[in-house]
Amino acid sequence: MSTPDQQRPGAGDEDQGIAVVARTQGQLVRRRFFRHRLAMISLVVFVAILVLSFSSTGIGPIPGWWKHDYTTIGTVVDGGRPTLSVVPGFLGGDGIHLGEHPFGQDNKGIDYFALTMRGTQISLMIAFIVGGLGSFIGVLIGAAAGFFRGWTETILMRFTDVIIIMPLLAIVAVIANQAGNAGPFWLAVVIALFTWTGLARIVRGEFLSLREKEFVEAARAAGTPAWRIIRKHILPNTLGVILVSATLSLAGAVILETALSFLGFGVKPPDTSLGRLVSVYQGAFVTRPWLFIWPGVFIVAIALTVNFIGDGLRDAFDPRQNKVRS
Amino acid sequence: MTKPSSDDPFVDHRSMGAAGSDPLDVGAAEPTEQVKSATQAHVGHLGRSAVGGEELLRVDDLSVEFPTDDGVVHAVRGVSYALHAGEVLGIVGESGSGKSVSSMAVMGLLPRSARISGDVSFRGEDVLSMPPAVQRSLRGRKIAMIFQDPMTAMNPVHTVGDQLAEAVLSHELMPRKKALARAEEALGMVGIPQPKTRLRNYPHEFSGGMRQRAMIAMAIINDPDVIIADEPTTALDVTVQAQILEKLVEVKDAIGAAIVLITHDLGVVAGMTHRVLVMYAGRAVEVGETDDIFYRTRMPYTAGLLGSIPSLDSDDDGRLRPIHGTPPSLIHLPAGCPFSPRCPLATDLCRQTEPELFDTDVTGHVAACHHWRRLAEADDPTTFFRSESEAS
Amino acid sequence: MLAFIVRRVIAAFGILLAGTFIAYVLVALSGDPLAQLRQSNEPGIEDRIANMTERLDLDTPVPLRYLKWLGGAAQCVVPFVGTCDLGQSVRGQDVSALLADAMVATLQLITVATVTAVIIGVLVGIVTALRQYTRLDYSATFASFVFVSLPIFWFAVLLKQYIAIDLNDWLADPTVSLPAAAIVGVISGLIWGSIVGGDRRRVLTSFAVAFVATGGALLLLSASGWFRSPGLGPVVVGVVGVAAAVGLTAVVAGFRYRNVLYAALATAGAGIVANLAFDPLLTDPTWGTLFLLLLLAVAVAVGIGYAIGGLQRRQAISTSVWVAVIMAFTITADRMLTAWDNYYEFVGGRVVATFGARTPNYDGGTWGNLLDTVTHLALPTLALMLVSLATYSRYTRASMLEVMNQDYVRTARSKGLTDRTVIVRHALRNGLIPVTTLVAFDLAGLIGGAVITETVFGWQGMGFMFVEALRNTDPNPAMAFFLVTGIVAVLFNMLADIAYAYLDPRIRLG
Ligand SMILES: Nc1ncnc2c1ncn2[C@@H]1O[C@H](COP(=O)(O)OP(=O)(O)OP(=O)(O)O)[C@@H](O)[C@H]1O
Ligand code: SF4
Ligand SMILES: [Mg+2]
């Protein structure tokens, strides 16, 4: 993705030149992304899930709008069956309404919608921390290795190799088993410490090829300091790759966290997450399938929409179908 | 429809605009003495004599469009030409003018998304409407192509010998040994030393020039009638370029093929071709015999191209006079003449109506310009671009 | 090349040492194996604590303990020494013995799942790349996104419920209703219509053929009671052989010259004859016999290809060999199904198993046991396969599209090669190089991924062992897991590099 405009003579001083490119390219990217229909739908759904989960049960001390609490034990009504109905009356259904417990109740009478929302909230929060922190570490290590080469690169890449050979789920499980007790935040940090390897390799590759490009060589010849070259010239050109990879790692983080919690090494009570809900209620599958289905549906919905958003971003940044050969 | 061979390959292009009659068939007129001698003078140093055998390839009103996310790209718009046995036709034009796309359409190599219209006939048979299997059997056997970038045009995981032999085997079943022998012979013909051991090399073990020779060998291995060479030397350094072109002409003569030579390099055109087709924004804007294109230019764009090459023998200060501005977008073409935004001669007429290919004062020389007469009147048409460039 | 490999091996050892060290420290810090004992106040608990401390070497500082452990573990890697010491579990079992069993179980699961996932994924990737932007492509893309987004633990439980239990219920009275047959027929028709492609008429024809063939076959099989007592018989084996011969010839060589087709058909014929002739041998063979028979089949196929291939000898040989292998598998399946009725009785009709690796107390001879293994492998394999399939199909598709856009593919077409040759010899050969390395990388990761599958399906492999160990704060079995996955990871990363270098002459020779 070289940008020919950057080299056009007379494009003004270097910063200005970049700014022009960044804007036009940014516009292109945005337009292509908005044209990716699945990605757009996914974005809407994902934001809806985000808003729903955080607003319904509240964040920290701020209460949510949902009438039930995710800890209050109540009386089990109608075997805890969900009261949500989406089939309108004229189609022979019960009409469209939420009812008292739209997702039903668990065996202790806790409102399952509240519980699911709380689980979604925690899972999302962990995913965001993992995606953000993991990507940050990945970019840092990859950039350092790719830009400075030499010993820095050897050491960093060997270190990456070492981390990569340990199965992610297992090594995280080992640490999370303890970290989980310290709360979801620390769990997320621990997961992030092991999920940066893929991005580090990609970023290093990008840096290796970009640092040979003429505009970087020119900047270096002009005595521009390293961090400035990285920030002004290289990072903007790897932004697409980083963004796509960070997005996809978000989806990966949701799956990983829920898997950990499912095995019992992730989020620990009293906190809950989607994975823990699936794990706790898998025994109830035959008698009360909704306790098992709802959290799973939310995991799939989050992972799927995030994956589609990532795909849309990838297409927007690297539009193969528009690539024109001479 | 097999055409009787004509002595005059040049006149086929007259008057695209002549309503009613087939514009390609007007060309039975006698060539002028002047044209003939010019031709001979020109190709004489290539060791070849008269051209103009039977008509091999004929492209008629060829258009290619690509639907893309950003709109329909009108890559080629109504290009016509004919190629006769033994002839070298040059196609020149800026990057993006549709040179490659028009040739790929002839070869049937465009992606499926391309919308192609018009006619392409080889020895009188319509190529585009042939069943795919028949079209395929022409490809590489009757019409071969040499591509621009020898670095990427060969498959890195197969040996050069295998890739050459494959070209033979795909048209004729024979023992591999025999096909490899043919490959060895072809490599020898294009001047690769020790062809036998070279057969076993992979492309990355060849230098750029050698790869391009190997590409030529691949193109000639089945004795094709037509070779389309798409900028065969742009990726190579200057000294190698000359050798490659010389080789190309040599093997063409050896196997008696005609060549469509696509290039940016007007020097190459001057030295090698009999006729030239100038393309701009997907159209043929000037077609004529090579000397006429150079010395009796009738289209400002061509004049601009000529002015932008360094010349040693020019009578003025030897300054370069580049054409300013960029080619128009092929998605949103400007109204009128596509060259008008960059043309020093542009008038309101130009900005309103797109010129057809008009007959000019020179026989067999057509130009898509409303004001070709003004160029005919000028001594040196490139001077039209002077004031502008010299002022800046 | 040799220097390259040596350098790679040395680097791999270094990485493995560092990796196991980190894992060892983390495992050691992850919990106190004595925690439970310390809380109890049973009599004699002091002794037990001392005993355990001694057994797990808990008094030694962790880095030293790692070195000791490494000394024992190193013996496992050195060939032919035979002594392998991976320490003991908290219950006092020898970990290397535990590991051996677990490894076999995991290997079984992973191999089958990976092989099927790779084959199907790569095929889907190729087809969707060749049919880019068709309905098939969109559907496959969508499906692969769904599979990538599925949490396997959730999906596996659904599979257990809806596939196993419902399928077993259906097997109690297996009939295909007309609407069901019609629906499956339509799906098959849509898929084939998209795969075949071409103009409207061709698509409609292939839709109709696939619809009638699939739906009809289902109804026919249902009516003849085949689902109750499935089997193939020599006729089906023969038909499969001939179909494989024709299909493979179409892919490998085309029909312009017939030698390859004749060779493939001759091989199929030989297979049919052999199936009948070796009947007594195939009734209850040992695995050794079967392996020898497979070798024989391949040898015969090579001979036939060599003899009949003529000018297309190479292609003829490879086609014949593939036909022979496909026939061998078909015959195996045919024989395996002979054990169906007996097995059905034994398990009381619950044929698709949801737990464990084999039915307790069942011994049905070679074929019966094979069937038993297959029914136990079915669900976990399906779960693992579907989840990893999508990666391969997406990756193959992207790689193929990339390659199809390369200049050398255009060159190949300009030479007048058939589409088949262009795709097989130029696009596939290059497009699958990165896929090969991806598969190698992934194999190592899959063992880690099997942790969940094994837990859900009670498959007593390494993943199961690891989870148990972690729950019981049992360091040595957990470390054994990391040792194996680490070795596999560096080994396969190395293989990936070497395979890459081997497949790409630019690296091999450059
Ligand atoms: N597959 C395609 N999809 C969309 N547009 C295309 C495609 N192939 C070519 N084009 C467009 O068609 C136009 C003509 O391209 P073409 O390759 O023929 O130019 P050219 O004259 O050969 O230029 P060059 O001298 O750089 O080779 C270009 O604007 C190009 O962007
Ligand atoms: S038609 Fe007009 S604008 Fe076009 S080339 Fe001729 S003079 Fe220039
Ligand atoms: Mg071109």
The region of weakest confidence among B36-50, B350-364, C346-360 is B36-50
Q: Given phi > 0 = left and psi -120 to 50 = alpha, else beta, which region is B61?
A: left
* B70 chain-A contacts, CB cut-off 8 A: 322
Mean pLDDT of chain B: 79
Q: Which atom of ligand 1 is nearest to the CA of B73?
A: 5
- CB proximity A154 to C under 8 Å: no
* C22 chain-A contacts, CB cut-off 8 A: 162, 166
Could you write out the DSSP letters of every residue in C233-276?
HHHHHHHHHHHHHHHHHHHHT-SSS-HHHHHHHHHHHHHHHHHH
Q: Is the pLDDT of residue C420 over 70?
A: yes
Give the Å distances, CA to CA, from C490 to A164, B214, C148, C442. Answer: 9, 41, 25, 12
Asked whether the beta carbons of residue B69 and residue A326 sit closer than 8 angstroms, the reply is no
Decide if A102 is inside a domain: no
CB-CB contact of B281 with B97 (8 Å): yes
Question: Please, which pLDDT band fits residue B32 given cuts at 50, 70 and 90?
Answer: very low
For the segment A53-69, the average pLDDT, to the nearest whole number, is: 74
Question: In the structure encoding, which two tokens stand for residue A174, read together?
Answer: 């080992």
Q: Is the pLDDT of residue C62 over 90?
A: no
The pLDDT of residue B321 is 65
The alpha carbon of residue A17 is apart from the nearest alpha carbon of chain B, in Å, by 19
Tell which wins on pLDDT, C88 or B41. C88
> Whose C-alpha lies nearest to ligand 1, atom 17?
A326
- Give the chain B residue nearest A315 (alpha carbons): B69
DSSP bridge pairs for B145: B228
Decide if A20 is inside a domain: no
- Give the chain A residue nearest C23 (alpha carbons): A171
| Ligand 1 centroid from CA C432, angstroms | 29
Q: Is the pLDDT of residue A101 over 90?
A: no
Considering only CA atoms, which of C421, C420, C314 is closest in space to residue B167? C421
- CB proximity B100 to A under 8 Å: yes
- Give the chain B residue nearest C428 (alpha carbons): B157
The alpha carbon of residue C72 is apart from the nearest alpha carbon of chain A, in Å, by 20
* Percentage above 90 pLDDT, chain A: 7
Q: Is the pLDDT of residue C36 over 80?
A: no
pLDDT tens column, C177-232: 888 888 899 988 888 887 877 778 888 888 899 999 998 888 888 888 788 778 78
Q: Which residue of A174, A193, A281, A326 is the best one to mutate when testing the C interface, meaning the one whose CB has the most C CBs within 10 A?
A: A174
For the segment C294-306, the average pLDDT, to the nearest whole number, is: 93
Q: Which atom of ligand 1 is nearest to the CA of B68?
A: 4
User: Which of A35, A322, A326 is nearest residue B68 as measured by Cβ atoms?
Assistant: A322
Ligand 1 neighbour B239 (Cβ under 6 A): no
Q: Is the pLDDT of residue B46 over 70?
A: no
The pLDDT of residue C302 is 94
Ligand 1 neighbour B100 (Cβ under 6 A): yes
The pLDDT of residue A79 is 66
DSSP A76: P
Asked whether the beta carbons of residue A32 and residue B69 sit closer than 8 angstroms, the reply is yes
Considering only CA atoms, which of A250, A170, A236, A157 is closest in space to residue A197? A157
Which residues, other chains included, contact A88 with Cβ-Cβ below 8 Å and sequence gap of 6+?
A95, A96
- Give the chain A residue nearest C150 (alpha carbons): A300
**Antiparallel, parallel or unpaired: β B88-92 and B258-263:** parallel
Reported as type and span, the H/E element at residue B55 is strand B55-68
The pLDDT of residue A233 is 80
**CATH, residue A258:** 1.10.3720.10
- CB proximity A245 to C under 8 Å: no
Question: In the structure encoding, which two tokens stand for residue A229, read together?
Answer: 């070259």
Question: Please, which pLDDT band fits residue B317 given cuts at 50, 70 and 90?
Answer: low
Q: Which residue of B65, B68, B69 is the best one to mutate when testing the A interface, meaning the one whose CB has the most A CBs within 10 A?
A: B69
For the segment A216-223, the average pLDDT, to the nearest whole number, is: 82
Question: Please, which pLDDT band fits residue C60 given cuts at 50, 70 and 90?
Answer: confident
Which residues, other chains included, contact C66 with Cβ-Cβ below 8 Å and sequence gap of 6+?
C20, C21, C24, C25
Q: Which atom of ligand 1 is nearest to the CA of B110?
A: 1
| Ligand 3 centroid from CA B61, angstroms | 20
Ligand 1 neighbour B95 (Cβ under 6 A): yes
pLDDT tens column, C325-338: 999 999 999 988 88
Mutate to test the pocket of ligand 2, among B324, B371, B372, B384 (most ligand atoms within 8 A of CB): B371
The position carrying tokens 């030295």 is B271
Question: Please, which pLDDT band fits residue A83 given cuts at 50, 70 and 90?
Answer: low
Which residues, other chains included, contact B227 with Cβ-Cβ below 8 Å and sequence gap of 6+?
B143, B144, B145, B146, B219, B220, B248, B252, B257, B258, B259, B260
Count, in order, helices (H) and strands (E) of chain B: 14, 12
Decide if A266 is inside a domain: yes
Question: Please, which pLDDT band fits residue B89 given cuts at 50, 70 and 90?
Answer: very high
Question: In the structure encoding, which two tokens stand for residue B253, read together?
Answer: 């003569």
Q: Is the pLDDT of residue A23 over 70?
A: no
Tell which wins on pLDDT, C43 or C406. C406
Ligand 1 neighbour B99 (Cβ under 6 A): yes
For the segment C381-385, the average pLDDT, to the nearest whole number, is: 88
- CB proximity A268 to B under 8 Å: no
CATH superfamily of this structure's domain B55-268 = P-loop containing nucleotide triphosphate hydrolases (3.40.50.300)
The alpha carbon of residue B330 is apart from the nearest alpha carbon of chain A, in Å, by 13
Asked whether the beta carbons of residue B157 and residue C425 sit closer than 8 angstroms, the reply is no
Q: Provide the chain C residues 294-333 that lie in CB contact (below 8 A) with chain B.
A: 311-312
Ligand closest to B229 (CA) is: 3
Ligand 1 neighbour B77 (Cβ under 6 A): no
| Ligand 3 centroid from CA A323, angstroms | 14
The pLDDT of residue B30 is 39
* C448 chain-A contacts, CB cut-off 8 A: 167-170
Question: In the structure encoding, which two tokens stand for residue A212, read together?
Answer: 């040979």
Q: Is the pLDDT of residue B205 over 60?
A: yes
* Percentage above 90 pLDDT, chain B: 29
The pLDDT of residue C408 is 93
Could you write out the DSSP letters of every residue in C201-236?
HHHHHHHHHHHHHHHHHHHHHHHTTTTTS---HHHH
Mean pLDDT of chain A: 77
A180-189, A308-317, B331-340, C298-307 — which one is most confidently predicted on average? C298-307
* B169 chain-C contacts, CB cut-off 8 A: none
Q: Specify the domain boundaries for CATH 3.40.50.300 within chain B.
A: 55-268
| Ligand 3 centroid from CA B262, angstroms | 8
Helix, strand, or coil here: B312? Answer: coil
Mutate to test the pocket of ligand 2, among B306, B333, B337 (most ligand atoms within 8 A of CB): B337
Decide if A309 is inside a domain: yes
Decide if A65 is inside a domain: yes
Looking at the whole model, is its pTM more than 0.90?
A: no
Q: What are all long-range contacts of A256-259, with beta carbons under 8 Å and residues at least 24 apart? A: A256/A130, A256/A168, A256/A169, A256/A172, A256/A191, A256/A195, A257/A123, A257/A126, A257/A127, A257/A130, A257/A187, A257/A188, A257/A191, A258/A123, A258/A299, A258/C151, A258/C153, A258/C154, A259/A169, A259/C151, A259/C152, A259/C153, A259/C452
Asked whether the beta carbons of residue C154 and residue A278 sit closer than 8 angstroms, the reply is yes
Q: Is the pLDDT of residue C59 over 80?
A: no
CB under 6 Å to ligand 2: residues? Answer: B 300-301, 337, 339-340, 343, 345-346, 350, 355, 369-371
Asked whether the beta carbons of residue C146 and residue A173 sit closer than 8 angstroms, the reply is no
The pLDDT of residue A91 is 63
| Ligand 2 centroid from CA B114, angstroms | 29
* C426 chain-B contacts, CB cut-off 8 A: 155, 158
Integer Cα distance of C304 and C298 in angstroms:
10
User: Which of B69, B70, B96 is nearest residue A326 as measured by Cβ atoms?
Assistant: B96
pLDDT tens column, B245-303: 888 888 888 888 899 999 888 888 888 889 999 999 999 999 999 988 888 888 888 88
The pLDDT of residue C325 is 94
State the total domains in chain A. Answer: 1
- CB proximity A36 to B under 8 Å: no
- CB proximity B19 to C under 8 Å: no
The pLDDT of residue C76 is 72
Q: Is the pLDDT of residue C96 over 90?
A: no
| Ligand 3 centroid from CA A220, angstroms | 34
Q: Is the pLDDT of residue B8 over 70?
A: no
The region of weakest confidence among A8-12, A102-106, C284-288 is A8-12
Q: Is the pLDDT of residue B391 over 60?
A: no
Q: Is the pLDDT of residue A105 over 80?
A: no
Question: Please, which pLDDT band fits residue B387 given cuts at 50, 70 and 90?
Answer: low
Integer Cα distance of C340 and C493 in angstroms:
41
Helix, strand, or coil here: A51? Answer: helix
Ligand closest to B95 (CA) is: 1
Partner chains of A (3+ C-beta pairs under 8 Å): B, C
Q: Given phi > 0 = left and psi -120 to 50 = alpha, else beta, which region is B86?
A: left
Integer Cα distance of C120 and C445 in angstroms:
19
**Antiparallel, parallel or unpaired: β B115-122 and B55-68:** antiparallel
pLDDT tens column, C317-326: 999 999 999 9
